[in-house]
Amino acid sequence: MSKSKPLKKSPRTTGHARFKVGDRVRVKDLPNLFYSRTQMYVRGVVGTIAACTYQDVIPEDEAFNRDGRLEQYYIIRFRQKDLWPEYPFDNDTVQTESPERWLEPAEK
């Protein structure tokens, strides 16, 4: 099982997380060159950082077995009302996980 690598819970070379819990972020809509784990339904949507999870190689790099860059992963919380037109329940939310390179700061 030589190609599975353990996750690095403590930072290796990066050690830096751009965002913290509570920050407002927007998911970028980057072009998919290959299989991406960033779902279409969150692209361009603004959410709130709910947690910092771990640091890891980004999936797109890992898919090609490059020694990829280490970066912080986050759980982001979105309001359902911001994801879907006319979603009827005010308080409902969705959370997904994202690496830092897919996120940019958002104002609101």
Interface contacts to another protein, rule CB under 8 A:
1-7, 9, 32-41, 51, 53-54, 56, 59, 63, 65, 73, 75, 77, 80, 83-84, 89, 91-99
Beta carbon nearer to another protein, 21 or 84 = 84
Give the nearer residue to another protein in terms of CB position, either 24 or 93.
93
Rounded Cα–Cα distance for residues 49 and 103 (Å): 10
Which residues touch 39 (CB under 8 Å, ≥6 apart)?
A: 96
Nearer to another protein, 24 or 36 (CB): 36
The CB density around residue 10, as the number of other CB atoms within 10 Å, is 7
- Shortest Å distance, C-beta 95 to another protein: 5
CB of 91 to another protein, least distance (A): 4
Rounded to whole angstroms, how far apart are CA atoms 56 and 41?
23
Residue 81's H or E segment, with its range, is helix 80-83
- CB of residue 81 vs another protein: minimum separation in angstroms? 12
Question: What tokens does 27 get?
Answer: 């998911």
